[in-house]
C-alpha cells in the first residue's frame, strides 16, 4: 500500500470518527429526553484495487414499527381506562362506602328507624320530627348525588371540548412534520430530530383518540382510527364539538340528531365528509372515547339508578292497595277489581295458575304499547285505562286468552278462570293506586312529591317519563313539614295515637317489590334492579362499588402493560450512558491510531522530499 493510500485511509477514518463523536455526543446529551431514539452512524467500507477505506452514509435511528404500533394502541387504551377510573373513583367518594355516614344505605336505614319510632310512639312530637328530618336527609342525599352526577357529566363535555382543541392542534403539527420530512436537503441531525417529534405527536394523538399509524419509507406517517376513519393522509381531518350547554338528567344522547340533548362530536375529512363520531360508533379508545362513555352511559346509568330509588321511595309511601273481591259466573270463579282512581303509571298485580304453573302479570296504566317479561320474570302489559273499563277488559282479554276478562261497571274489571275446563285458576288481583291527598284517601300518602308539589305516579306517558330525573326533583310535601301530625292522622280529626299509617308504610318498604329498566331486551347491557327498596339500595351501592373497582383494576392492568412496553422501548430506543462512554473510548483510540498514521505518513513524505 502506498503512502497516498495510507493517508487517504487514515483521513477517512478521522472523518468517520468525528461523525461518530457528533452522534455520540447527541445521544449522551439526550439520554433523559422523553421520546428520543438512540442514533448510530451508518458506515460503509469501500474497497478498490489500490486501497480500502470507510465513509459514513447517514444516521440510523433506533425504531421498531411493530413495537411502536403496540405502544400506540396501549397508550390509547390506557388513556381510555384512566379517564374512566378517575371519574368513577370520584363518584365513589361522593356516594360513600356502605355503612358510612351519608351513604344511601345509612340514610335509608335512619329513615326506617325513624318510622319505627313513630309506630312505637305516634303521639310523640319528637319522634315525628325525627322522621321528617330523616326523610329530608334522604331527599337531600338523592338531590346532592344527582347534582353531582350531572356536574360530572357537564365536566366531561368541557373536557371533550378541550381535547378536541388540542387534538386539532396536534394533527396540524403532525401534518407539518410530514411536509418537512419531504425536504430532501435536510441534514441527518434535523431529520432524526423530526422523526422523534413525529413519534411524540402520534403518541399524544393516541392519548386522545384510538389510532393506527402507517409509517412510510420517506418518514411520513398516515393516521386513521381503528374503525377505519382517516385522520391524516392526503390532508388533515378536523374535529368539532358543539356543546349542549348545561346538562340535566333529561339531557341524554339519542341517535337521532334532532332529538339528542348532549354535545355533538363530529369529524370532517379533507374531502369534506362530516361524520358523527358518537352516532356512528367511531370512538373505540382514547380519552375522547372514555369521556363519551362516561357522559352517555356510565353516569347516565348511575342517574337512572338514583331515579329508581327515588321513584320506589315515593311509591312505597303513596301507594294504596285495593284487593280484588271474589266473583262467580256460572262455573267460572275469579275476582272483581276496582280500577277507580288509577292514575297514569299505576298498575294492577294479577297472579293466576295455568296448568299448575304460577303466572304473574303487572297491568300498567299507560298509552304505550307494552308487553314483555321483566327482570323478575313477571309479565308486564301496558293498557290505557283512560279508555274505560270496557276497553281495558277487551285489551286484556286478547292478551290473556286463557282467562275470561270483562267489565261489569265503569270502574270494575272482572277476571275469571276457564270454569269447568279447570286449566286456569285466578289467585289474586290487587289494584295499586296513588294517594290523592294527605288525609281521607287511605293509609298511603304523598310524603315525597315531584315539582310543584305534584304527586309521583310513575307516569310513563310524559316526555320524558316522570321517573327520569326524579332524584333531582324529589322533595318533601311542605304541608307535612309544617304539620308533622299528618304522618299519623290519615283521617281528618283522627287520633294521634293511631300507628296504622306508620305500620302500613313500614310494611310497604319491606314488601313492595320493584323492577328497574323496563323491557330487558331494550336495556341490554344495563344492570337491572329487583326487590324491595332496601334491596334496591344495596344493589345500587354494590353495583357502583364493583363497577368502580373493576374500572380501577382495568386501569392498573393497562398501566402495567404500558409500563412493560415503555421498558421494552427504553431498552430498544434508549441511550445507555455506560455503553456510550465505552464507545467513546473506542473512538478515542481509533482517532489516535488514525492520527498516528497521518503523522507517520507526513514524516515519511518529509523524508522522501528531503532526499530528493
pLDDT tens-digit readout, 61-86: 778 888 999 999 999 999 999 999 99
Residue 145: its pLDDT value, please? Answer: 95
pLDDT higher than 70, residue 281: yes
Beta bridge partners of 320: 433
Q: Quick check: is 404 in a domain? A: no
Residue 312: its pLDDT value, please? Answer: 96
Q: Quick check: is 433 in a domain? A: no
Q: What is the mean pLDDT of the chain?
A: 89
Do residue 561 and residue 584 come from a single domain? no
Do residue 31 and residue 110 come from a single domain? no
Do residue 53 and residue 171 come from a single domain? no
Which structural domain, as residue segments, surrounds residue 24?
3-62+574-611
- Number of domains comprising the chain: 2
Neighbours of 159 (CB within 10 A): 18
Over residues 337-375, the pLDDT tens digits come to 999 989 999 999 999 999 999 999 999 999 998 999 998
pLDDT higher than 60, residue 49: no
Over residues 158-182, the pLDDT tens digits come to 999 999 999 999 999 999 999 998 8
Question: What's the per-residue H, E or C state across 98-143?
Answer: CCCCCCHHHHHHHHHHHHHHHHHCCCCHHHHHHHHHHHHHHHHHHH
Do residue 32 and residue 69 come from a single domain? no
Do residue 163 and residue 208 come from a single domain? yes
CA 196 – CA 345 distance, rounded (Å)? 63
Q: Quick check: is 55 in a domain? A: yes
Do residue 270 and residue 129 come from a single domain? yes
Do residue 153 and residue 50 come from a single domain? no
- The residue among 379, 505, 385, 497 whose CA lies nearest residue 435 is 505
Do residue 594 and residue 488 come from a single domain? no
Q: Are 451 and 231 in contact (CB under 8 A)?
A: no
pLDDT higher than 90, residue 231: yes
- The residue among 451, 464, 414, 455 whose CA lies nearest residue 436 is 455
Q: Quick check: is 365 in a domain? A: no
Beta bridge partners of 370: none
Do residue 23 and residue 96 come from a single domain? no
Do residue 569 and residue 582 come from a single domain? no
Do residue 186 and residue 295 come from a single domain? yes
Q: Buried (b) or exposed (e) across 545-583, using 16+ Cβ within 10 A? A: eebbeebbebbeebeeebeebeeebeeebbbeeeebeeb
Do residue 223 and residue 302 come from a single domain? yes
Residue 60: its pLDDT value, please? Answer: 76
For 346, the 3-state DSSP assignment is coil
Q: How many CA atoms lie within 13 A of 62 on its CB side?
A: 18
Q: Quick check: is 276 in a domain? A: yes
Q: Quick check: is 80 in a domain? A: yes
Q: Quick check: is 134 in a domain? A: yes
What's the grid cell of residue 525?
A: 347491557
Residue 448: its pLDDT value, please? Answer: 97
Q: Quick check: is 403 in a domain? A: no
Q: How many CA atoms lie within 13 A of 508 on its CB side?
A: 21
Amino acid at each position: 500500500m502506498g503512502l497516498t493510500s495510507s493517508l487517504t485511509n487514515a483521513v477517512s477514518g478521522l472523518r468517520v470518527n468525528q461523525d461518530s463523536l457528533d452522534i455520540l455526543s447527541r445521544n449522551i446529551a439526550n439520554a433523559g429526553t422523553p421520546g428520543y431514539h438512540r442514533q448510530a452512524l451508518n458506515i460503509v467500507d469501500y474497497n478498490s484495487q489500490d486501497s480500502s477505506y470507510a465513509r459514513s452514509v447517514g444516521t440510523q435511528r433506533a425504531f421498531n414499527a411493530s413495537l411502536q404500533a403496540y405502544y400506540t394502541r396501549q397508550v390509547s387504551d390506557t388513556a381510555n381506562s384512566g379517564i374512566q377510573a378517575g371519574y368513577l373513583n370520584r363518584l365513589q367518594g361522593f356516594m360513600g362506602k356502605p355503612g358510612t355516614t351519608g351513604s344511601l344505605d345509612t340514610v335509608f336505614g335512619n329513615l326506617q328507624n325513624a318510622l319505627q319510632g313513630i309506630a312505637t310512639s305516634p303521639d310523640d312530637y319528637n319522634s315525628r320530627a325525627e322522621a321528617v328530618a330523616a326523610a329530608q336527609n334522604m331527599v337531600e342525599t338523592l338531590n346532592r348525588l344527582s347534582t353531582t352526577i350531572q356536574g360530572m357529566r357537564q365536566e366531561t363535555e368541557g373536557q371533550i371540548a378541550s381535547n378536541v382543541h388540542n387534538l386539532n392542534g396536534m394533527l396540524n403539527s403532525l401534518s407539518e412534520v410530514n411536509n418537512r420530512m419531504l425536504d430532501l436537503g435536510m441534514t441527518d441531525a434535523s431529520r432524526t430530530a423530526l422523526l422523534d417529534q413525529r413519534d411524540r405527536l402520534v403518541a399524544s394523538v393516541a392519548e386522545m383518540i384510538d389510532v393506527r399509524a402507517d409509517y412510510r419509507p420517506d418518514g411520513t406517517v398516515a393516521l386513521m382510527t381503528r374503525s377505519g376513519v382517516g385522520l391524516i393522509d392526503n390532508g388533515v381531518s378536523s374535529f368539532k364539538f358543539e356543546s349542549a350547554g348545561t346538562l340535566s338528567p333529561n339531557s341524554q344522547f339519542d341517535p337521532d340528531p334532532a332529538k339528542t340533548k348532549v354535545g355533538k362530536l363530529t369529524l370532517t375529512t379533507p374531502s369534506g365528509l362530516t361524520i358523527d363520531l358518537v352516532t356512528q360508533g367511531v370512538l373505540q379508545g382514547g380519552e375522547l372515547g372514555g369521556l363519551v362513555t362516561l357522559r352517555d352511559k356510565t353516569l347516565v346509568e348511575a342517574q337512572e339508578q338514583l331515579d329508581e330509588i327515588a321513584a320506589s321511595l315515593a311509591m312505597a309511601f303513596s301507594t294504596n292497595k285495593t284487593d280484588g273481591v271474589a266473583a262467580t259466573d256460572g262455573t267460572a270463579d275469579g275476582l272483581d277489581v276496582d280500577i277507580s282512581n288509577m292514575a297514569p303509571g299505576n298498575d294492577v298485580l294479577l297472579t293466576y295458575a295455568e296448568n299448575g304453573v304460577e303466572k304473574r302479570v303487572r297491568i300498567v296504566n299507560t298509552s304505550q304499547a307494552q308487553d314483555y317479561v321483566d327482570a323478575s320474570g313477571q309479565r308486564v302489559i301496558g293498557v290505557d285505562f283512560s279508555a274505560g273499563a270496557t276497553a281495558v277488559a277487551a285489551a286484556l282479554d286478547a292478551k290473556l286468552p286463557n282467562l275470561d276478562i270483562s267489565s261489569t261497571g265503569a270502574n270494575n274489571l272482572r277476571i275469571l278462570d276457564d270454569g269447568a275446563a279447570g286449566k286456569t285458576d285466578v289467585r289474586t288481583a290487587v289494584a295499586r293506586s296513588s294517594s290523592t291527598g294527605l288525609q281521607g284517601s287511605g293509609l298511603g300518602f304523598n310524603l315525597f312529591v315531584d315539582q310543584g308539589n305534584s304527586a309521583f305516579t310513575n307516569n310513563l306517558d310524559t316526555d320524558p317519563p316522570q321517573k327520569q330525573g326524579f332524584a333531582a326533583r324529589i322533595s318533601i310535601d311542605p304541608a307535612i313539614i309544617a304539620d308533622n301530625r299528618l304522618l299519623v292522622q290519615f283521617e281528618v280529626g283522627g287520633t294521634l295515637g293511631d300507628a296504622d299509617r306508620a305500620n302500613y308504610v313500614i310494611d310497604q318498604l319491606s314488601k313492595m317489590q320493584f323492577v328497574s329498566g323496563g323491557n330487558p331486551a331494550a336495556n341490554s347491557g344495563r344492570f337491572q334492579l329487583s326487590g324491595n327498596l332496601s334491596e334496591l339500595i344495596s344493589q345500587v351501592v354494590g353495583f357502583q362499588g364493583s363497577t368502580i373497582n373493576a374500572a380501577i383494576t382495568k386501569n392498573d392492568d393497562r398501566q402495567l402493560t404500558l409500563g412493560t412496553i415503555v421498558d421494552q422501548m427504553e431498552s430498544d430506543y434508549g441511550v445507555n450512558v455506560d455503553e456510550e462512554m465505552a464507545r467513546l473510548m473506542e473512538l478515542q483510540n481509533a482517532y489516535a491510531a488514525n492520527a498516528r498514521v497521518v503523522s507517520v505518513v507526513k514524516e515519511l513524505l518529509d523524508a522522501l522530499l528531503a532526499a530528493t
